[in-house]
Amino acid sequence: MSVNQVMVIGAGQMGAGIAQVFAQSGLKVKLNDMNEEALNKGITGIEKRLQRVVDKGKLTADEQAKANELLSGTTDLNDASDCDLVIEAVVENMDVKTKVFQSLDEITPAHAILASNTSSLPITEIAAVTKRPSQVIGMHFMNPVPVMKLVEIIRAIQTSDETYQVIEEMTKKLNKAPVEVNDLPGFAANRILMPMINEAIFAVHEGVASVEDVDTVMKLGMNHPMGPLTLADFIGLDTCLYIMEVLHDGFGDSKYRPCPLLRQYVKAGWLGKKSGRGFYSYE
């Protein structure tokens, strides 16, 4: 199956980034969001990022113009009726996602592949609400999407080999590195990353070391480009907590218990960079 027309649902940071890499790779892509203001913000952000890449000499003006031409915006989900691939990047909530997939199942052509950018929710459960479970798959892009090379491709137990192969080849066409992952809580990336972040928070909570010193240990001692607490602020502490809860619920293992300090920060509204305060202040 060839993929000629793509739709990305959700014009937030992840969705807009995904739409950008498709357009830069020469594919027609529709960016969809039911909120027109969010949609306009997403498209404006893509245009600004493309201009920065041109300014750095990594993209020509002609390539920029072509990418902008391939990108369009819509608030109407019915515009997915001619799409070969739809990637959902809405809020990390199973009820919201399953409703989107049920709608797409009715709207899109019978051959279309439906993918989710979820970072932790089970693809098997999402696939089960459709009449085409073999054509449902996970495409977990990393943030920021235009920069990060990895894409976790998550196979539900229903996902066909044909669907996987199409998405693997598509991922390579985007100049990304596909990694095949089975559908277990947290997949591979967050099953490894989030417990490390959670343990860093425990180290602060238990007085082992300060926020700054925990980050310094991991940067200078383990050669991480960014400390785990800085990274947590960048991801969003509410997102970190949510994924830890998915891991804890999914495996029933106490090693995935979210740190009480993480819960406290989220309750205080200290969510990281997006709220102006997390483990660091951004105001």
pLDDT (tens, 9 = 90+) of the chain, 283 residues, equals: 889 999 999 999 999 999 999 999 999 999 999 999 999 999 999 999 999 999 999 999 999 999 999 999 999 999 999 999 999 999 989 999 999 999 999 999 999 999 999 998 999 999 999 999 999 999 999 989 999 999 999 999 999 999 999 999 999 999 999 999 999 999 999 999 999 999 999 999 999 999 999 999 999 999 999 999 999 999 999 999 999 999 999 999 999 999 999 999 999 999 999 999 999 999 8
Catalytic residue, from 32, 116, 117, 119: name it: 119
Q: Is 152 labeled as catalytic in the residue annotation?
A: yes
**Does residue 164 sit in the same domain as residue 204?**
no
Segments in 56-141 forming alpha helices (H): 61-70, 94-107, 123-127
Residue 80, pLDDT score: 98
Query: Is 282 part of a structural domain of the chain?
Result: no
CATH number at residue 260: 1.10.1040.10
Question: Residue 53: its pLDDT value, please?
Answer: 93
- The label of the residue with tokens 């793509």 reads 6
Domain count, the chain: 2
Same domain, 225 and 172: no
Q: Which domain holds residue 211?
A: 189-274
Of 147, 182, 217, the one marking the end of a domain is 182
**197 and 174 share one domain:** no
Residues 171 and 58 in one domain: yes
151 and 212 both lie in a single domain: no
Task: Tell me, yes or no, if 119 is annotated catalytic.
Answer: yes
- Is there a contact between 182 and 160 (Cβ–Cβ < 8 Å)? no
User: Is residue 243 situated within a structural domain?
Assistant: yes
Is residue 85 located within the same domain as residue 175?
yes
Choice among 32, 88, 140, 275 that is catalytic: 140
Which of 115, 149, 182 is the C-terminal boundary of a domain?
A: 182
d(CA 185, CA 180): 15
In the listed set 167, 182, 197, which residue is the last one of a domain according to the structure?
A: 182
pLDDT at 283: 84
CA distances, 260 to each of 12, 93, 170, 177, 264 (Å): 29, 23, 41, 36, 6
Catalytic residue among 117, 152, 198, 275: 152
Q: Does the residue 283 lie in any domain?
A: no
The strand pairing partners of 154, in sequence order, are: 138, 181
Residue with tokens 């498209």: 43
Cα 95 to Cα 100, 233, 239, distances in angstroms: 9, 26, 17
Task: Provide the H-helix boundaries in 149-259.
Answer: 161-173, 189-205, 211-216, 228-235, 237-251
**CB contact at 8 A, 18 and 145:** yes
pLDDT at 135: 98
Q: Do 176 and 143 fall into the same domain?
A: yes
pLDDT at 1: 83
State the CATH number of the domain containing residue 136: 3.40.50.720
Q: What is the pLDDT of residue 96?
A: 96
**Domain membership flag for residue 280:** no
In sequence order, the β-bridge partners of residue 138 are: 116, 154
**Do both 158 and 94 map to the same domain?**
yes
Cβ contact 243:190 at 8 Å? yes
Q: Which of 32, 116, 117, 190 is catalytic?
A: 190
Residue 172 sits in the same domain as residue 55: yes
Across 207-224, b (16+ Cβ under 10 Å) vs e yields eeeebeebbebbeeeeee
